[in-house]
């Protein structure tokens, strides 16, 4: 772990709900559909409240409501939102294999210029069972990660110089491709996640930030130790981020009551769709809680006193939340900061109201705790 005195200031990001939003999730349709007008409200709220960045995920079917419910496409949405903001960054997810790396490098460089250098890239080599196949992509795990490695290296080569670029890999070929103008500020940073050996190795070799989904602290500590070895082997400095939902209320009772209310209208069709999703075995957040935790935990899905996995019954990917008062949740996040997490990507339902609540009630407490921790070290 880095010495606390030498660590950068923590960064706090928010989330763009491209599946839709509302006070209840897992219904067939969202109470707040993902229209441009609504997503703009989320983004402008985050910018006004001082967040560092916004994560825009990628998927090919709705992952929070019924699969056929409206879904905002990632790159188009990011471009439109970048054009109506001024300071906040965008962490945009992309799946290699669905677009030419040369064309993507041009698109990213152009959006980098439009936004004044405010974009970063979350490369997603793997994902949700059946989602790649919807668009005819059937590559195996090893191929996807090797292709992602070449995708990142090809983009960096294209951004490094406006001159024609030659790149010959197993999956990516460039013969004289060019990107001009180049991105400002040394180009977008690359964020990578995943828990498999291939994911950790790729993160060590190529990521600027290794992004983890929240899990119990002992599991996060284990992942960081494994990732540290990969960064050291690659001769690179690690930086870690954490993705989590939050349910923060004035009292712990209110927080847990609202956690239950969040799922109180979930539809059996949506639950069945989520239960049919099978991902990499290491991705505990995405597995059916019945399989992972057993029948005795069906009532509340608690993994720890303040860690709750109930969202995973209706949501693909990150399905775990910290639940409690501002002081309790700040204390929990401090535990992860101590492990080496310097960037936190947060969310809560609904995203407009919770964006304000977290900024006003939680983050000031957490920032004070981190500063006090630094001063004691």
Strands 307-308 and 321-324: antiparallel
Q: Could you read off the pLDDT of 90-104 as tens digits, one per residue?
A: 999 999 999 999 999
Split at pLDDT 50, 70, 90, the class of 3 is low
314 domain-assigned: no
285 domain-assigned: no
Task: Tell me whether the omega of the peptide bond preceding residue 350 falls within 30 degrees of 0, making it cis.
Answer: yes
Please determine, for residue 187, whether its predicted confidence score (pLDDT) is greater than 90.
no
Split at pLDDT 50, 70, 90, the class of 129 is low
Q: Could you read off the pLDDT of 13-41 as tens digits, one per residue?
A: 999 999 999 999 999 999 999 999 999 99
Q: What pLDDT sits at residue 141? A: 87
With a CB cutoff of 8 Å and minimum separation 6, the contacts of 68 are 61, 62
Q: What pLDDT sits at residue 280? A: 40
Return the percent helix, strand and coil in the chain, to nearest 5: 45, 15, 40
* Overall size of the chain counted in residues: 377
Split at pLDDT 50, 70, 90, the class of 186 is confident
Query: For residues 126 and 193, what is the distance between their CA atoms, to the nearest angstrom?
Result: 10
Domain membership of residue 83 as a residue range: 4-255+320-376
Q: Could you read off the pLDDT of 107-122 as tens digits, one per residue?
A: 999 999 999 999 999 9
Q: What are phi and psi of 43, to 5 degrees?
A: -65, -45
For all residues of the chain together, what is the average pLDDT? 91
| Mean pLDDT score, 49-74 | 96
CB 25 within 8 A of CB 36: no
Gyration radius of the chain's alpha carbons: 20
303 domain-assigned: no
275 domain-assigned: no
3-state SS, residue 65? coil
Split at pLDDT 50, 70, 90, the class of 281 is very low
Query: For residues 320 and 303, what is the distance between their CA atoms, to the nearest angstrom?
Result: 9
With a CB cutoff of 8 Å and minimum separation 6, the contacts of 359 are 49, 50, 51
250 domain-assigned: yes
Chain centroid to CA 191: how far?
A: 9
Split at pLDDT 50, 70, 90, the class of 223 is very high
Please determine, for residue 298, whether its predicted confidence score (pLDDT) is greater than 90.
no
- Which residues pair with residue 244 across a beta bridge? 346
Kindly list the distances between the CA atom of residue 90 and the CA atoms of 55, 84, 224, 245, in Å, as whole numbers in the listed order: 6, 12, 25, 18
Beta strands in the chain (DSSP E): 11-15, 53-56, 89-94, 119-123, 165-168, 173-177, 190-192, 209-213, 240-248, 307-308, 321-324, 341-347
Query: For residues 45 and 47, what is the distance between their CA atoms, to the nearest angstrom?
Result: 5
With a CB cutoff of 8 Å and minimum separation 6, the contacts of 100 are none
**Top-confidence residue, 258 or 281:** 258
Split at pLDDT 50, 70, 90, the class of 279 is very low
Q: What pLDDT sits at residue 377? A: 81
306 domain-assigned: no
Split at pLDDT 50, 70, 90, the class of 1 is very low
| Mean pLDDT score, 269-294 | 58
84 domain-assigned: yes
Please determine, for residue 335, whether its predicted confidence score (pLDDT) is greater than 90.
yes
CB 190 within 8 A of CB 120: yes
Please determine, for residue 288, whether its predicted confidence score (pLDDT) is greater than 80.
no
- Which residues pair with residue 212 across a beta bridge? 242
Please determine, for residue 289, whether its predicted confidence score (pLDDT) is greater than 60.
no
Query: For residues 332 and 347, what is the distance between their CA atoms, to the nearest angstrom?
Result: 16
Please determine, for residue 53, whether its predicted confidence score (pLDDT) is greater than 60.
yes
CATH of the domain at 351: 3.20.20.30
158 domain-assigned: yes
Q: What's the angle, vertex CA 47, arms to CA 56 and CA 73, rounded to 5?
A: 20
Domain count, the chain: 1
Please determine, for residue 286, whether its predicted confidence score (pLDDT) is greater than 80.
no
DSSP 137: -
In the chain, the percentage of residues whose pLDDT exceeds 70 is 92
Please determine, for residue 153, whether its predicted confidence score (pLDDT) is greater than 50.
yes
In the chain, the percentage of residues whose pLDDT exceeds 90 is 83
Among residues 69, 115, 67, 71, the alpha carbon closest in space to that of 91 is found at 115
Q: Which helix (H) or strand (E) segment is 272 a member of?
A: helix 268-275
Please determine, for residue 285, whether its predicted confidence score (pLDDT) is greater than 80.
no
């Amino acid at each position: 772990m880095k010495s606390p005195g030498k660590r950068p200031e923590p960064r706090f990001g928010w989330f763009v709900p491209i599946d839709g939003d509302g006070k209840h999730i897992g219904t067939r349709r969202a109470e707040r559909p993902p229209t441009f007008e609504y997503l703009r409200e989320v983004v402008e709220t985050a910018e006004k409240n001082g967040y560092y960045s916004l994560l825009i995920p990628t998927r090919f079917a709705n992952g929070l409501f019924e699969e056929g419910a409206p879904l905002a496409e990632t790159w188009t949405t990011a471009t439109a939102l970048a054009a109506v903001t001024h300071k906040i960054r965008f962490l945009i997810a992309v799946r290699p294999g669905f677009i030419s790396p040369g064309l993507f490098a041009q698109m990213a460089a152009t959006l980098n210029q439009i936004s004044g250098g405010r974009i970063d890239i979350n490369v997603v080599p793997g994902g949700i069972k059946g989602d790649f196949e919807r668009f005819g992509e059937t590559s195996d795990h090893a191929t996807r990660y090797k292709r992602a490695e070449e995708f990142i290296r090809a983009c960096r080569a294209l951004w490094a110089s406006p001159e024609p670029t030659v790149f010959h890999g197993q999956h990516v070929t460039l013969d004289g491709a060019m990107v001009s103008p180049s991105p400002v500020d040394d180009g977008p940073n690359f964020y990578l996640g995943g828990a498999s050996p291939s994911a950790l190795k790729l993160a060590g070799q190529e990521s600027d930030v290794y992004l983890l989904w929240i899990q119990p602290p002992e599991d996060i500590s284990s992942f960081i130790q494994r990732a540290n070895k990969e960064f050291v082997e690659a001769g690179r400095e690690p930086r870690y981020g954490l993705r989590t939902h939050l349910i923060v209320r004035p009292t712990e009772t209110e927080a847990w009551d609202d956690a239950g209310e969040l799922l109180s209208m979930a539809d059996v069709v949506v639950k069945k769709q989520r239960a049919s999703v099978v991902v990499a075995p290491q991705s505990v957040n995405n597995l059916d809680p019945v399989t992972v935790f057993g029948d005795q935990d069906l009532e509340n899905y608690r993994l720890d006193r303040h860690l709750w996995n109930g969202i995973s019954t209706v949501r693909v990917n990150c399905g775990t939340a910290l639940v409690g008062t501002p002081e309790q949740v700040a204390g929990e996040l401090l535990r992860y900061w101590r492990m080496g997490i310097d960037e936190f990507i947060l969310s809560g339902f609904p995203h407009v109201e919770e964006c304000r609540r977290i900024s006003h009630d939680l983050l000031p407490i957490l920032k004070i705790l981190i500063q006090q921790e630094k001063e004691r070290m």
